[in-house]
Amino acid sequence: MAGNTSGRRPQNKARSRGEIDRYHYVDRDIYSRSDHRVSASPRKKRRKKKKGGAGRVVAVLLAVAAVAALAVAGGAGALLGRLDRPEIDTTQYEEQPSAAPTWSVLSDSSVINILLIGKDKGDDGMSSRSDTSMLVSIDTKNKELRLVSFLRDLYLEIPTVGKTRLNAAYANGGAALTMQTLENNFRVNIDKYIEIDFENFALVIDKMGGIDIDMNAAVAAEGNRNIGSHWTEGVNHLSGKEALYYSRIRATDSDFGRTGRQRQVIEAILTRFKQLNILDMGSVAFEYLPYVTTNLSDGDIVYLASIAPQILDFGQETMAVPNEGTYQDLKLPSGALVLDADLEENSRMLREFLYPSGEGEG
């Protein structure tokens, strides 16, 4: 296998009491220290969960879930036509970053990699940026669902832009530049994506009758002060407008807390969606799918819908990039704080994570 520098796979460790699960982390600041420096020592930590969490990520693929449900009612063709599927070209961004390893890009026909991009409007209400970049890797051979969260403050070489934060890739070239930036730097195949527009969640949530969100006291108080809500610590029933505000709160912690809340809202939407009957599912999906952008083909979607019941029984593993101990906090001349990662170490760990036992082909 080209570029596989080690046959070792990071050891799975059970999460000890009090240890943070970074993938499902909400309402706290992670990887955002103004004066802390972490050496790039090869400490490897990742999370592994079996079966219980897989359904949440399958649910995030709302387009797939909707098509699967509507196929039963004979309406899949009409839904597929409502998806936004623009032509994208990633080849214009292919280049070798100076700090990245020169290994070939790994891929495997039994592994499906899909980048989930959560899109939000900029502070001017006009520009767009990606606040969430999460790779969903479906390993049909080993029956594993692997999730990788790429932190937005990763300091990477972005084609046509230069070295800057990862989320600048979307602002300058959309999904195509985001996928190719990750592929260039970490040497794993990423050519499929699903993009979700947070701006239009309110319409969908109201059509479903609202969603239930579990929140802490600080977030509840923040909402009550700013939008006149009547939230309390614990589970609250939110309208579409309230859910959109909740997903944008950052004053109580940080942007990382905000992205955690966005994932929480997505999961709540799909939890509610799965409770609907087949006709209501169709109505909601019909309204929502125009807000989903993807380059998945009809064949891709039908295939994913057909294996969705199997994926629910897959084991689940999670990883955050950069991995702990493989980056340092860096303050740029502008004063911005970024995560300067050891790309070779993170690339090696990611390749071993997605393609265990050297199964990928480069």
Q: Which runs of consecutive H residues, i.e. helices, occur in 20-124?
A: 54-60, 62-72, 76-80
User: What is the enclosing helix (H) or strand (E) of 25?
Assistant: none
135 within 8 A of 142, measured Cβ to Cβ: no
Tens digits of residue pLDDT in 335-357: 999 999 999 999 999 999 999 97
Tens digits of residue pLDDT in 80-139: 778 888 889 999 999 889 999 999 999 999 999 999 887 765 544 444 555 678 898 999
Q: Give this prediction's pTM.
A: 0.72
Using CA atoms, how far residue 167 sits from 118, 124, 200, in Å, is: 11, 17, 20
pLDDT at position 160 is 95
58 pLDDT tier (thresholds 50, 70, 90): very low
256 pLDDT tier (thresholds 50, 70, 90): low
Q: How far is CA 221 from the centre of its chain?
A: 28
Which pair of tokens denotes residue 286? 């019909």
Tens digits of residue pLDDT in 274-326: 788 877 877 777 777 788 889 998 888 888 878 877 876 788 888 889 998 99
How many residues are listed for the chain in this entry? 362
Q: Which CATH number fits domain 47-204+277-355: 3.40.50.300, 3.40.630.190, 3.20.20.80, 3.40.50.460?
A: 3.40.630.190
Strands 144-150 and 128-139: antiparallel
Q: Which runs of consecutive H residues, i.e. helices, occur in 107-254?
A: 168-186, 201-208, 217-227, 240-248
Q: Which residue, 28, 45, 14, 18, is CA-closest to 319?
A: 45
pLDDT at position 259 is 63
Distant-in-sequence, close-in-space partners of 191: CB < 8 Å, separation ≥ 6: 90, 113, 179, 183, 295
Distant-in-sequence, close-in-space partners of 169: CB < 8 Å, separation ≥ 6: 130, 156, 158, 161, 177, 178, 181
Using CA atoms, how far residue 302 sits from 24, 56, 71, 108, 272, in Å, is: 28, 19, 9, 20, 23
Tens digits of residue pLDDT in 196-253: 776 777 888 898 899 999 999 999 999 999 999 999 999 999 999 999 899 888 778 7
Q: Could you state, in order of their start, the residue ranges of all structural domains in the chain?
A: 47-204+277-355
